[in-house]
Amino acid sequence: MVRPRWLFVTGKLAEPSLRRQVAELAPQANFDYEIVVLPITVVALATTAWIDRHLTVKKGFDRVLLPGLCVGELNEVNAPPDTVVERGPADLRDLPLHFGRQGGTRFGYNTYDIAIIAEINHAPKLPLTELLAQAQALRSQGADIIDVGCDPDGPWPGVGEVVRAMRDAGLRVSIDSFNPTEVESAVRAGAELVLSVNSTNQERARDWGCEVVVVPDVPGTLEGLDETVQALAAAGVPFRIDPVLEPIGFGFAASLGRYLEVRRRYPDAPMMMGVGNLTELTDVDSAGVNTMLVGFCQEIGLRSVLTTAVINWCRTAVRELDLARRLVHYAYSEHTLPKNLAPDLVMLRDSRLREYGESALLEMATRIRDPNFRLFAERGLLHAINGEMFLQGTDPFTLFAEMQSRGEIDPAHAFYLGYEMAKAVTALTLGKNYVQDQALRWGFLTVAEPSHEAKIRRGDASGSSAGE
């Protein structure tokens, strides 16, 4: 089998690191390669048009890998017809991950079989426009059904209008109420699921013509559950069972046991879990809790979860559940650990820390000739390197004073350095990777950040000011 040939494009500063990385990767990934060093210190600051003027791609290469941060259209780089030009990772240290992704994502990763029901709390108190806006937002985050949460002082005269408007907007709707008048209005308007039914309203459920959620008569027990299940089954009413998750300190562990017991009693019955009793009522970011609960649901064959997104630490609960259901489905179906599969739920810290190390930074310092500072954050220290100095420390104010010791820094650049060092300190504090001029990674909450320094240093966008 012929090994593929890669052409790696880099600048003077990154050349040593790239050569080390590729020398290790090539035998593992089974490819041959050449590295071309362009006449520029930081090739990431160049455009594809500038690269094309300084690069000749000969025949015989299968792929050309450009730095991930270079801007411009890839088709501006001329290459033989059979050669593919692509961008590499934004950070050179991610090159192994880039090659691990060649060939596409894992087959079947984005499949799932757990539905998300997202509740809008206190719906009667909200205007219709706000209800519709919330519903559309929840759907965009991954909700399959929008649950209209009613208040206990009903009936709510406007429930039918709200459900009908949501149905007209293409939304699937459930109604959360024990009030039969509210439920009947909602069902007539198109609600497909009723939360909830027990012995107090099971007779009325026979006439609703839709699926219902069965809950026990007495919280913290399974009392009355079997009788309601049997009555609904005999009447031909479709249902799913929710034994009710309890908060920590109020029977949480026992409530998990009740889910297992219901699954034992009813091996094939649809089940639901309302996760908000844990996520909304525990002082902790909700993503990890949601992932653990969805993993539990996946293993026992529980196919729907109900969530709220009220308290601030839960406001992205729907998106968390959407990502978690994909993660646990793949792990369960492929019998693999839910680890190193997708990074979007790792938010506070990064999956792994990447470090250059002292010797690599020292080598880099010997190659930098221009006055622009390169910032790094690793091993508990801030590092600032330019053509005149190599500074290290933990206090950004002290470092900045040293930066100014050989000449005043203009206000715009001073603001930029302060902004970047604040990001670097945050990275050190939390255990995240810092890459100058790039956003810190916050999982699915990451907001892309334009390259501010590139705009300053590129000037006319030619890349020449970076050290050609």
- The answer on pLDDT for 463 being more than 70 is no
Q: Which of 144-148, 208-212, 445-449, 463-467 has the lowest mean pLDDT?
A: 463-467
Q: Which residues pair with 10 in a beta bridge?
A: 37
Length of the chain: 468
Q: Which residues contact 319 (CB under 8 A, 6 or more apart)?
A: 141, 142, 444
Binning the chain into helix, strand and coil, the percentages to the nearest 5 are: 40, 15, 45
- The answer on pLDDT for 386 being more than 80 is yes
Q: Which residues pair with 306 in a beta bridge?
A: 117, 274
- Report how far residue 145's alpha carbon sits from residue 152's, in angstroms, rounded to the nearest whole number: 22
DSSP 427: H
The pLDDT score that the predictor gives to residue 467 is: 37
Mean pLDDT, rounded, for 351-371? 88
- The answer on pLDDT for 455 being more than 90 is no
- Report how far residue 351's alpha carbon sits from residue 342's, in angstroms, rounded to the nearest whole number: 10
- Report how far residue 417's alpha carbon sits from residue 215's, in angstroms, rounded to the nearest whole number: 58
CB 291 within 8 A of CB 327: yes
The pLDDT score that the predictor gives to residue 434 is: 95
The pLDDT score that the predictor gives to residue 458 is: 52
Instruction: With cut-offs at 50, 70 and 90, classify the pLDDT of residue 454.
Output: low
CB 118 within 8 A of CB 275: no
Main-chain dihedrals φ then ψ at residue 170, nearest 5 degrees: 85, 15
- Taking alpha carbons only, the member of 97, 95, 27, 31 closest to residue 67 is 95
Mean pLDDT, rounded, for 67-78? 88
pLDDT in tens, 408-426: 899 989 999 999 999 999 9
271-275-277-283 Cα dihedral, nearest 10 degrees: 160
- The answer on pLDDT for 243 being more than 90 is yes
Q: Which residues pair with 456 in a beta bridge?
A: none
- Report how far residue 297's alpha carbon sits from residue 4's, in angstroms, rounded to the nearest whole number: 44
- Report how far residue 426's alpha carbon sits from residue 418's, in angstroms, rounded to the nearest whole number: 12
The pLDDT score that the predictor gives to residue 462 is: 38
- Report how far residue 258's alpha carbon sits from residue 167's, in angstroms, rounded to the nearest whole number: 34
- The answer on pLDDT for 159 being more than 60 is yes
- Taking alpha carbons only, the member of 335, 352, 359, 368 closest to residue 433 is 352
Q: Which residues pair with 240 in a beta bridge?
A: 213
Instruction: With cut-offs at 50, 70 and 90, classify the pLDDT of residue 43.
Output: confident
Mean pLDDT of the chain: 91
What separation, in Å, do the N-terminal and C-terminal C-alpha atoms of the chain show?
40
- The answer on pLDDT for 220 being more than 80 is yes
Q: Report all structural domains of the chain as residue ranges with CATH numbers, in order of start.
A: 5-100 (3.40.50), 115-334 (3.20.20.20), 358-466 (no CATH)
- The answer on pLDDT for 440 being more than 60 is yes
Asked if the peptide bond before residue 359 counts as cis, ω within 30 degrees of 0, the response is no
Q: Which residues contact 295 (CB under 8 A, 6 or more apart)?
A: 324, 328, 331, 332, 338
- The answer on pLDDT for 4 being more than 50 is yes
Main-chain dihedrals φ then ψ at residue 15, nearest 5 degrees: -55, -50
CB 343 within 8 A of CB 441: yes
Q: Which two tokens stand for residue 360?
A: 């690599």
Instruction: With cut-offs at 50, 70 and 90, classify the pLDDT of residue 209.
Output: very high
CB 388 within 8 A of CB 406: yes
- The answer on pLDDT for 67 being more than 80 is yes
Q: How far is CA 326 from the centre of its chain?
A: 12
Q: Which two tokens stand for residue 367?
A: 């190659």
Instruction: With cut-offs at 50, 70 and 90, classify the pLDDT of residue 451.
Output: confident
The pLDDT score that the predictor gives to residue 223 is: 97
CB 70 within 8 A of CB 458: no
The pLDDT score that the predictor gives to residue 460 is: 39
Q: Which two tokens stand for residue 433?
A: 């990777």
Sheet of strand 272-274, all strands in order from the earlier edge strand to the far edge: 239-241, 211-214, 193-197, 173-176, 145-149, 115-120, 304-307, 272-274
- Taking alpha carbons only, the member of 6, 40, 37, 14 closest to residue 93 is 14
Instruction: With cut-offs at 50, 70 and 90, classify the pLDDT of residue 466.
Output: very low
